[in-house]
Amino acid sequence: MKRLLPFLLIPIILLLVSCEKKNETKSTDCPQSNEKCTVEEPNQKWIETTVDYLSKKYGNENRDRLLLGVTQVHGLWHPEDGCCQVEFHKFIEENYINDDAKRKELFERLQRNFEIIIGHNGKVNLELTEPVHVAIGDMIPVDGLFAAYSPSAHFDDDMYKSKIAFIVALNFPAYTLAEKNELGPKWTRLEWAYARMGDMFTSRVPAALNQAVSTAMSTADNYISNYNIFAGKLVDKDFNTFFPEDMKLITHWNLRDELKSQYANKESGLQNQEMIYQVMQRIIDQSIPQEVINKGDYQWDPYENKIYKDKKEIPFTAEADVRYDYLRKNFLAMKAIDEYTPQYPTYIERAFDKGLEYSKKEIEDLFVTLCSSPQVAEVGALIKKRLGRDLRPFDIWYDGFKSRSSISEDDLDKQTMSKYPNPAAVHADLDDILVKLGFTIEKAQFIASKIQVDPSRGAGHAWGSQMKSDVSHLRSRIGEKGMNYKGYNIAVHEFGHNTEQTLTLHDVDNYMMSGVPNTAFTESWAFIFQHRDLYLLGMKENNPDKKYLDALDNFWSVYEIMGVSLVDMNVWEWLYANPECTKTELKEAVINIAKDIWNKYYAPVFGMKDQSILAVYSHMIDYPLYLSAYPIGHIAEFQIEQFIEGKNLGSEMIRICSQGRLTPDIWMQGAVGNKLMVEPTLKATEEALKHIK
C-alpha cells in the first residue's frame, strides 16, 4: 500500500486519542508480566513506545501504516481487553504483520471467514423475516418478534472479545473519506480491498444497542409493510366509488403510482387523483381513522373524514400520531449509538459521511442547485400547458412525459397479469429479460439462477445475497389474478437491484470490494431497468421525441424526490435539536418542515403555499435517511444513460459493476469519466425544453 503523507495521519490520530478516558487506579494480576499492575486506560505513551519498538525491529518502511494501525487499536482498546501497557504492547507485537506476503495471506483468510459469517447471518435474517415480508399466509404476533431479532447484533462484540477486530484494525487500518479520495486513484485493487477491510471495525457499539436499532427498524418496517388503503372503499359525500372494489394500495408507493396512472384517464382521472391526495393528507396529519388502515370493513370519505357501515356513519378512532412515534423510536435507537462512534458522532454523519460517502452538505448543495434552477419553473409551465389546468400539489408526480402515460393501465394490467400469473412465471422470464437488455445467454442464465422471486406483502424490495453460495430475492406484489402493471413496474426496478447485487458479488475480485459505493448506485441500475419496462413487454416506442421526453421525465422525478429528501434531512436536524420531543411535537415539526421546503422550492412553480405533501414518503418512517439515495441514484442514472447510449447495456453494466465498492466519485470516474453532478441533467432539460416547445 502506498505510504501515507504524515499530515494525513494527524486527523485520525487526534480523533482517536481524543477518546481517552481518565486513568483508573485499580490493581490486578497482569497475565503478561505475572506481577501486580495498575489498571489504566490506554494513553498516548502506549502508542509511542510500541511504534518505536516495532520500527526498530522491522525498519521504517511501513512506519506510517504501523502508526495508523496501532493508533486505531489504541482508540478501540478497553481495560478489559488488556489491563496495562504490557498487555497492549504484547498483543501488538504478536499480531502485527510487516511482511507483504503474510499480510495478504491474513487478508484472504479474513475475507473468506467474514463472507461465511456475514452471509449466513444475512440468510438467517432473511428467513426469519420471511413471514413479515412475503405473502405466504397470515401473520401471527410472534412473526414480528422474530423479524426484530438480529443474528448479527453481537457480531462486533464477539469480534472484539476474540480480538479478531483488533487484528483487523492493526494490520488493515481505516482511511478517512478524504484519504480514500486522495490516495484511491493510485491504489491497486488489493490496496482498495485492504482499505475496505479496514472499514470493518472503526467503532465499538454494544450488542444491546445494535439489537435495539434492529428492533426499532423492524417494527417500523412491519408497520409500513402493512399500511394498506382499500381504495374500493373510498367514497365521496354521495357514496360514489372511484376505484375497483378489490383494489388495495400500500402507502405511499401504490397510492402514488395509482395517482400517476390516472394521468391517462381523461374522463375521471383528476377526481380520482384528488381522492388519493385527500387520503395522503389524512395520513400525513394522522387524522386517518384507525379502522380503515389495512381493513376493508367500512366505507371512508376522506374529504369529510367520515366512515360508514351500510351508509350509516359510525364513530372512529384517529391513528393519532402512531406514524411519527415509529420515526421517533428509530431516532432514539440511532442516537443511543452516537457516543460509541466518535468518528461519526451523529446518525446524520453516519448516514452520509460513512454510509453514502458524501457529506450532507455536498448532497444538500446538489439538491438545492437543481431545485433552485430556472429549468424548474420552465418544466412546471410546460406541464401546466399539457394538462390544460393549474398545477395541483400532487403534480409533483406528473407522469405525462412517459410513453405509457397515454396507455390505459387496465390494458397494461391485462398484459402483465396474463404474462406473470405467479412467481414461477416471473422467474422463468428473467433470463429472457436480461438477453433483451444485451446480456449473453450464458450470463443471463447465471444471473437468473442466483435470484429467487417471492410475492411481497409490501410494495416490493430486493434482498441481496451476502455470500456467493446464496441467492438474492426479488419481491413484488403478485395478486391472485397475477401481477398487475404496478407490481410489474416495481418488479423490473427490483430486478435491476438483483442484477447489480449478483454482478457486484460474483464479478468483483475481492469479497471486501463487493457491492457498489452506496445504495444510490444500486438505485441507479434499478431506475435504468425500470425505464425499459414497456420495451421488455414488447411495446416498441417510436416517438421521435422520446429522448427529450425522457430527459424531462428524469428532471421532474429528481425535482420531486430531492424535495422529499430535503425534508428528511431537515427532520433529522430538528430531532437532534429536540431529542426529548413527543410524537405529536415531531408530527408538527415534520409538517412544518415539509411546508417550509415546499414554500422555498415548489410554491413559486405551483402557485400555492403551505403544502405538506412532501411528508408522505414511507421511507422517512422505516428507513432513516435513506431517501437521499433516490435522487443521487437518478443523477447517476442519467449520467450512465448518456454514457451507454448506443452501447450494449449488458456489457457496460458488467464493466461498471465489476469495479466494486470504490468511493462514489472514483466509481463514477471509472463508470462514465466524470464525478456525480447535476449539470448534465440541467443541460439536457434545457435542450429538451427548447425542442418540445
C-alpha 455/C-alpha 424 separation (Å) is 10
For the chain, how many helices (H) and strands (E)? 31, 10
The pLDDT value given to residue 45: 84
Instruction: Average the pLDDT over 199-215 and give the result.
Output: 92
Residue with cell 384528488: 274
C-alpha to C-alpha distances, 454 to 254, 268, 270, 476, nearest whole angstrom: 18, 34, 34, 7
Q: Say if 109 falls within a structural domain.
A: no
Q: Say if 390 falls within a structural domain.
A: yes
Instruction: DSSP letter for 582, please.
Output: -
- First CA to last CA distance, the chain: 55
In which domain, by residue range, is 620 found? 340-402+541-692
Please, which pLDDT band fits residue 207 given cuts at 50, 70 and 90? confident
Q: Which of 270, 291, 323 is the last residue of a domain?
A: 323
C-alpha 41/C-alpha 85 separation (Å) is 9
Helix or strand or coil: residue 293? strand
Q: Which three cell numbers stand for residue 47?
A: 502508542
The pLDDT value given to residue 3: 35
Instruction: DSSP letter for 393, please.
Output: G
Q: Which residues contact 544 (CB under 8 A, 6 or more apart)?
A: none
Q: Which three cell numbers stand for residue 427?
A: 422467474
Check if the beta carbon of residue 387 is closer than 8 Å to that of residue 400: yes
Whether residue 311 sits in one domain with residue 235: yes
Q: Say if 531 falls within a structural domain.
A: no
Whether residue 383 sits in one domain with residue 417: no
C-alpha 81/C-alpha 66 separation (Å) is 20
Whether residue 233 sits in one domain with residue 86: no
Whether residue 380 sits in one domain with residue 302: no
Does residue 5 carry a pLDDT above 80? no
What are the φ and ψ backbone dihedral angles of 186, each rounded to 5 degrees? -100, -5
Helix or strand or coil: residue 647? coil
Whether residue 503 sits in one domain with residue 420: yes
Q: Which residues contact 192 (CB under 8 A, 6 or more apart)?
A: 184, 513, 660, 662
Does residue 23 carry a pLDDT above 70? no
Number of Cβ within 10 Å of residue 679's Cβ equals 12
Whether residue 398 sits in one domain with residue 314: no
The percentage of the chain sitting over the pLDDT mark of 90, rounded to a whole number, equals 82
Whether residue 611 sits in one domain with residue 649: yes
35-61 pLDDT, tens digit each: 555 555 657 888 999 999 999 999 999
The pLDDT value given to residue 13: 35
Q: Say if 134 falls within a structural domain.
A: no
Looking at the structure of the chain, the number of domains it has is: 4
The pLDDT value given to residue 38: 53
Residue 69: exposure state from Cβ atoms within 10 A (0-12, 13-18, ≥19): buried
Return the C-alpha torsion angle 599, 604, 605, 607, nearest 10: 90
Whether residue 412 sits in one domain with residue 398: no
- The highest-confidence range among 18-27, 378-387, 401-410, by mean pLDDT, is 378-387
The percentage of the chain sitting over the pLDDT mark of 70, rounded to a whole number, equals 93
Q: Say if 445 falls within a structural domain.
A: yes
Q: Say if 420 falls within a structural domain.
A: yes
The pLDDT value given to residue 227: 96
User: For all residues of the chain together, what is the average pLDDT?
Assistant: 91
What are the φ and ψ backbone dihedral angles of 624, each rounded to 5 degrees? -55, 125
Check if the beta carbon of residue 72 is closer than 8 Å to that of residue 173: yes
Please, which pLDDT band fits residue 403 given cuts at 50, 70 and 90? low
Whether residue 396 sits in one domain with residue 414: no
The pLDDT value given to residue 127: 94
Please, which pLDDT band fits residue 29 given cuts at 50, 70 and 90? low
Calculate the CA 70 to chain-centre distance.
33
The pLDDT value given to residue 40: 56
664-691 pLDDT, tens digit each: 999 999 999 999 999 999 999 999 999 9
Q: Say if 599 falls within a structural domain.
A: yes
Residue 91: exposure state from Cβ atoms within 10 A (0-12, 13-18, ≥19): buried
Whether residue 649 sits in one domain with residue 559: yes
Whether residue 636 sits in one domain with residue 564: yes
Q: In what order do the strands lie in the sheet with 306-309?
A: 299-301, 306-309, 312-314
C-alpha 635/C-alpha 629 separation (Å) is 10
Cis before 252? omega within 30:
yes
Check if the beta carbon of residue 270 is closer than 8 Å to that of residue 245: no
Residue 43: exposure state from Cβ atoms within 10 A (0-12, 13-18, ≥19): middle
Check if the beta carbon of residue 501 is closer than 8 Å to that of residue 472: yes
Check if the beta carbon of residue 186 is closer than 8 Å to that of residue 669: no
Which segments of 420-545 does DSSP mark as H helices, in order? Answer: 423-436, 441-449, 485-506, 519-530, 533-536
Please, which pLDDT band fits residue 563 given cuts at 50, 70 and 90? very high
Helix or strand or coil: residue 39? strand
Whether residue 312 sits in one domain with residue 243: yes
Sign of the torsion formed by the C-alpha atoms of 629, 634, 637 and 642: negative
Global pTM value: 0.82
Q: Say if 518 falls within a structural domain.
A: no
Q: Which of 265, 292, 323 is the last residue of a domain?
A: 323
Return the C-alpha torsion angle 376, 377, 380, 381, nearest 10: -150
C-alpha 367/C-alpha 350 separation (Å) is 19
